[in-house]
Structure 1
């Protein structure tokens, strides 16, 4: 099976955040994509990975200055790991917060971004791609906890205007038309 994840860059005056850094073999293409945005790896403040599968954390090594948040279980900077009780509402700034959305794995988190266009949920593999809205086997086949994942999916569908899935382009929440 071939897999590579969606990688998202958030830029504000305060923060530069990269979410899910793809596979370890994507370093050069990720650096090139950042250069097109006039960003160097050392400019990134936060690396947030929705969970710890290798297609989502592979290029974390590029971001030496960033605080790394990998799922709800690991927060680190360099070789310093924080003992942190991740609650369901971890605030990065006034526009970005993290919530727990277990199911695909027990550690999964979603990044919520408030924009002028609405609330965007960057969900990792909670939603593999838009097509799994119609064919649940596309996500259930890879879920560690399908019943819990279904509950987390409902939670996101209640609040998000747009969804960035783990393996496809952003789509509008069909429940928010």
Structure 2
């Protein structure tokens, strides 16, 4: 099955005049099961609709709408996608119907052979990430705030303290797993980045140390 990934908007987070300004990356995955991941804030409706229109997709074309976790800057426009099944953290629903899926045991929510939602808790206790196999980029992981932005690999304080982490040990474990899995990562608050061989080697070494 063939998928392509379109980052509609890069996320950001920055301090301005003593206040935090932030919005999430918003990603469209086009293919057999169209998916939108992280719908920005409630003030971004027109911006989101414009991004979808530029990609030739309407809200009703979306089969799955994902909020990687329960923070407001990632969930603001889920109500636009009433034809889609919603996955918000570990919760899967459609209308007033809720589906039991054991994310908490580590089980992925498999949509098809090329698209799945995996549990990656740490930033919050119920974070998820989307793993998509593409023809042009290889494996792309839309990671939400598992990664704040590429710079937090060299500076862990960005994800541990600036973004905040409910469970740093769990988050580090899942960060290493995603670095080993992905060719590209779309972080919660920065542009998509390529996973380098050095990143993978460091993640492998860290994972090995944690297993001892």
Task: Give, in angstroms, the shift of residue 176 of structure 1.
Answer: 5.1
User: 1:59-74 counterparts in 2 under 5 A?
Assistant: 59-72=77-90, 74=91
Distance 1:17 1:89 in 2: 16
Given the alignment of the two structures, is residue 44 of structure 1 paired with residue 62 of structure 2, yes or no?
A: yes
Distance in 2 separating the partners of 1:34 and 1:57: 16
The structure 2 residue matched to 1:103, chosen from 122, 146, 151, is 122
The correspondence of residues 76-87 of structure 1 with structure 2, limited to 5 A, is 76-86=93-103, 87=106
1:139 is the counterpart of 2:159: yes
Match of residue 18, structure 1, among 20, 33, 36: 36
Whether contact under 8 Å (1:161, 1:176) holds in the other structure is no
Give CA-to-partner distance per residue, 1:35-90, whole Å, 9 cap, x none: 11121111111001111111111110111111000111x11111222233235221
Report the TM-score, using the length of structure 2 for normalisation. 0.79
The whole-number CA distance in structure 2 between the counterparts of 1:155 and 1:134 is 17
Does the 8 Å CA contact 1:112/1:122 hold for their aligned counterparts? yes
- Matches of 2:35 and 2:125 in 1, distance apart? 23
**Aligned residue in 1 for 2:52:** 34
Q: Tell me how far apart the structure 2 counterparts of residues 113 and 55 of structure 1 sit (CA, whole Å).
A: 23
Q: Secondary structure of 2:35's partner?
A: strand
Paired residue total: 175
Return 5+ residue gaps in structure 2 as ranges: 1-19, 202-212
Contact 2:101–2:109 (CA under 8 A) maintained in structure 1: no
DSSP 3-state at the match of 2:22: coil
How far does the alpha carbon of each residue in 1:79-122 deviate from its partner, in whole angstroms, 9 at most, with x for none? 22223323522111121111111100110111111112311111
CA separation in 2, counterparts of 1:102 and 1:25? 27
Q: TM-score, normalised by structure 1?
A: 0.94
Aligned residues of 1:45 and 1:67 also touching (Cα < 8 A):
yes
Gaps of 5+ in 1: none
